[in-house]
Amino acid sequence: MTEERPGAAEAVDSVLGALADPTRRRLLDLLATQGEGTATTLAGRLPVSRQAVVKHLAVLEAAGLVSGVRVGREVRYAVRPAALDTTARWMATLAARWDRRLADIKRVAEAAERDSSPTRPE
């Protein structure tokens, strides 16, 4: 994460922590599908109470995954993709590093195999 902007590691940690809970992932899926929703409407689609949904939404909001806007007496939540984008970039960088490491291991193993195999007469 050293190549990312300052605070990116903490942002990724926060996103991964928020997404570790299946109810929060489901809330994020619902919001992504619906566009927006209130705690009441979201609770109607989940097997948890409205109060539990509010707590889960607070975690998602703290991680930067959703934002809430007050409209009258309701708070309407919507997905904020920036935090997911940062996390996806981190994961892609990590995957690329592992791909390079595995390619290096393969190259070394293939060279060792070539060096240890008996020479064939031509």
* 122 belongs to a structural domain: no
Q: Is the per-residue pLDDT at 1 higher than 50?
A: no
What are 34-67's pLDDT values in tens digits? 999 999 999 999 999 999 999 999 999 999 999 9
Contact indicator for 32, 19 with CB cutoff of 8 Å? no
* 90 belongs to a structural domain: yes
* 97 belongs to a structural domain: yes
Listed residue (23, 22, 27, 2) closest to 12, CA to CA? 2
Q: How many CB atoms lie within 10 A of CB 87?
A: 21
* 9 belongs to a structural domain: yes
* 85 belongs to a structural domain: yes
Q: Is the per-residue pLDDT at 14 higher than 50?
A: yes
Residue 36's domain is classified under what CATH number? 1.10.10.10
| Residue 25 to residue 47: CA distance in whole angstroms | 14
Q: Quote the pTM value.
A: 0.73
Q: Which domain holds residue 111?
A: 1-115
What are 64-117's pLDDT values in tens digits? 999 999 999 999 999 998 888 888 888 898 899 998 999 889 888 988 888 887
